[in-house]
Amino acid sequence: MNIGLIGSGGREHAICEKLLDSKLTSKIICFPGNAGTAKIAKNVDIDILNFNLLLRYINFYGIDLVVVGPEEPLVKGLVDFLMKNKVKVFGPNKFASKLEGSKGFMKKLCEENNIPTAKFKICQNKKQIFQFLEKSNLPLVVKADGLAAGKGVTICNSKKKVLQISEEIFKGKFKSSRKIVLEEFLKGEEASYFLIVDEKGFKFFGTAQDHKRVGEKDIGPNTGGMGAYSPAPIINKKIEKKIINKIVKPTLNALKKKNNPYKGILYVGLMIRQNEPYLIEYNVRMGDPECQVILPRLKTDLVKILLCVIKNNLNNIQIKWKKEKCMTIVICSKGYPGNYKRNVLIKNLSSIRLDKKSFIYHAGTKIENNLLLSNGGRVLNFSSLGKSFLDVRKKILKLIAKLNWKRGFFRKDIGWRIISK
């Protein structure tokens, strides 16, 4: 089976490795891929939002299954387009993808279906902001309504900051939307719960905890994610039951009532507060870097799972997991999430030896004149499996110490909450 994989990040490299483990896989073509996928698959450097061009390449390479990694093509309707053209594809349709594509849509769905979430107001002007400010306590959270590459959320400790961030979004800081969702700040512990869903039901697909802030001890601006670990110990059986009954089932039932059943990976972003789960956000794909700690723990053939979802036969497959813990630490370009240099040489990555339980996933990398260069803010993910999070972190830090790249930085405290307990 020839598989087309859409995307270019660490998540897609991890998916690519897992797809290759399947005996059903003959060849993988990545659109556009990165320096890591180039070693194990064929990269085709095209604009993944040019659906017609993408379709031509899918037909040219005789691709039997397309797997969509990132959110933007999903939100813009790639799945609908490919299905219309008789291409087998894994991922949710355009309407269902609004769960991530519009925070306003997601919050209204919560309101309509009594799903626990933070109090909110969708605002398009200052008057609406002042109305919410009058009846709310600080801090407040300002969220860009549309896609913002993980950088559209700001916690504001003053009214002045709320107005400043809102004004930036109204003026078009994020091209996807000029609306904001203003909501109360929920204090608690964040965690991510993953499901794989077909039209008949769903199955558990892992838990993880991400580290969004750029600085150690979770300080500084938000990023796309500085590291993660799986499983998330805070999600016990009692909390999991509440997540399913209070959040997941009402959401999936609501989409079915709108004649747009969900199909694909569903990422449930949560705040756990006094043993109660609150929905912070939905993502309609695997998280990045959460994918890089969940897939190494998966024992079942990923291609078989995806095909079951497409055929609505998910109930026919048993999904099995390794008992080991997994952690990833993200190496970033200095300056990220602000301005940073691209095309910086990474000297000795290929000489770092890995055992069978350690992985280096490429994110923002490219090959030019046979040299490995940085090509983004988040550049590499060092992941490893082991018996305890402390042991795994020590192992990863030893591997990173071997890397000769002076323009990179990373957090040394990934997993600090659980390791310090």
Q: What's the confidence (pLDDT) of residue 175?
A: 76
Residue-averaged pLDDT of the chain:
95
Q: C-alpha distances in angstroms, 324 versus 22, 196, 273, 295?
A: 21, 21, 27, 12
Whether the CB-CB separation of 9 and 375 falls below 8 Å is answered with no
Domain spanning 119-184 has what CATH number? 3.30.1490.20
| CATH for the stretch 189-316 | 3.30.470.20
Q: For the whole model, what pTM was predicted? A: 0.94
Q: Residue 151: is its pLDDT beyond 90?
A: no
The pLDDT assigned to 413 comes to 96
- Name the pLDDT band for 158 (thresholds 50, 70, 90): very high
Q: What is the CATH number of domain 325-419?
A: 3.90.600.10
Q: What is the pLDDT of residue 221?
A: 86
* Whether pLDDT at 24 is above 90: yes
> What is the share, in percent, of the chain residues with pLDDT greater than 90?
89
Query: What digits encode the pLDDT tens for the residues 28-64?
Result: 999 999 999 999 999 999 999 999 999 999 999 999 9
Note the pLDDT tens digit of each residue in 351-388. Answer: 999 999 999 999 999 999 999 999 999 999 999 999 99
Measured in whole angstroms, the distance separating CA 86 from the mean position of its chain's CA atoms is 27
Mean pLDDT over 11-27 rounds to 98
What is the per-residue pLDDT for 350? 92
Q: Which CATH architecture has domain 2-91?
A: 3-Layer(aba) Sandwich (3.40)
pLDDT at 215: 96
The string of pLDDT tens digits covering residues 239-292 is 999 999 999 999 999 999 999 999 999 999 999 999 999 999 999 999 999 999
pLDDT of residue 153: 86
43/16 Cα distance (integer angstroms): 11
Pairing mode, strands 65-68 and 2-7: parallel
With beta carbons less than 8 A apart as the criterion, state whether 107 and 122 touch: yes
Terminal CA-to-CA distance of the chain, rounded, Å? 46
Q: What is the mean pLDDT of residues 186-202?
A: 96
pLDDT confidence of residue 421? 55
Q: What percent of the chain has pLDDT over 70?
A: 100
Contact 367, 43 (CB under 8 A): no
Which pLDDT belongs to residue 69? 97
How high is the pLDDT of residue 148? Answer: 78
Most confident of 16-20, 126-130, 136-140: 16-20
- The residue ranges of every structural domain in the chain are 2-91, 119-184, 189-316, 325-419
Across residues 204-208, what is the average pLDDT?
98
pLDDT in tens, 74-84: 999 999 999 99
Token pair recorded at residue 163: 């107005």
Cis link prior to 116 (omega < 30° from 0)? Answer: no
- pLDDT for position 152: 83
Query: Can you give the chain as a three-state secondary structure string?
Result: CEEEEEECCHHHHHHHHHHHCCCCCCEEEEEECCCCHHHCCEECCCCCCCHHHHHHHHHHCCCCEEEECCHHHHHCCHHHHHHHCCCCEECCCCCCCHHHHCHHHHHHHHHHCCCCECCEEEECCHHHHHHHHHCCCCCEEEEECCCCCCCCEEEECCHHHHHHHHHHHHCCCCCCCCCEEEEECCCCEEEEEEEEECCCCEEEEEEEEECCEEECCCEEEECCCCEEEECCCCCCHHHHHHHHHHHHHHHHHHHHHCCCCCCEEEEEEEEEECCEEEEEEEECCCCCCCHHHHHHHECCCHHHHHHHHHCCCHHHCCCCECCCEEEEEEEEECCCCCCCCCCCECCCHHHCCCCCCEEEEECCEEEECCEEEECCCEEEEEEEEECCHHHHHHHHHHHHHCCCCCCEECCCCCCHHHHCC
Q: Say whether pLDDT at 27 is over 80.
A: yes
Distance CA 76, CA 128 (A): 28
**What are phi and psi for residue 100, nearest 5 degrees?**
-100, -35
